[in-house]
Amino acid sequence: MDLGFRFHAERTPNPHSIKWVLGEAVAAPGVTADFPEPVDAGASPLAARLFAVSGVTRVFFTANFVTVTKREDVEWTDVAQPLVDALKAFAASGEDALGPVFEAPEPLPEGDVVDRIRQILEEEVRPAVAMDGGDVVFAGYRDGVVEVQLQGSCVGCPSSTATLRFGIEARLREAIPEVVQVVSV
């Protein structure tokens, strides 16, 4: 894959995460990968290269962007160029972003309420959250409680609680009377 070095950085609501918007897809449409800790190239050559940059604590990517989270005591000015270099090296390598030992999460059971929750998350919530370099993944539903997993810039973001309560929970409760609460797991 050749990105032609066409990518740019965008700030996110999380001051410790930067979203790198890429000129070409690094993953198949609909595929997301969240790495909350370093991995080797067998799981993800892309994540392994980014974790090699000192101060990187989390890597998240989807089809056309990569979100990198750094330690609080590290300045962006210290890691920006090494991250650019790592992204360029990955693009030049021709490697796939996901390695042979990457394991995608198992699909969760379906049902009427679950289908409606998933539809709202897929069509409304996830695209909005992706604009800020994050993702919200459906993790389960039981007894009126929707469980979601925050990924990318959403993890540790000061705005994530407000997004969860006043955005996601409010929208789901409005559309689906069975939903009483949304929690992050």
In tens, the pLDDT along 93-137 reads 889 999 999 987 776 666 899 999 999 999 999 999 999 999 999
Q: How many domains does the chain have?
A: 2
Task: Assess if residue 101 is contained within a domain.
Answer: no
Task: Assess if residue 102 is contained within a domain.
Answer: no
Task: Assess if residue 44 is contained within a domain.
Answer: yes
CATH code, domain carrying 136: 3.30.300.130
What lies within 8 Å, CB to CB, of 73 at 6+ separation is none
Range of the domain at 164: 112-184
Task: Assess if residue 99 is contained within a domain.
Answer: no
pLDDT at position 3 over 50: no
Looking at the fold, whether 135 and 86 belong to one and the same domain comes out as: no
Looking at the fold, whether 21 and 79 belong to one and the same domain comes out as: yes
Looking at the fold, whether 11 and 89 belong to one and the same domain comes out as: yes
pLDDT at 109: 66
Query: 25 vs 85, which has greater pLDDT?
Result: 85
Query: 114 vs 29, which has greater pLDDT?
Result: 114
Instruction: Name the residue among 17, 6, 8, 7 with its Cα closest to residue 132.
Output: 17
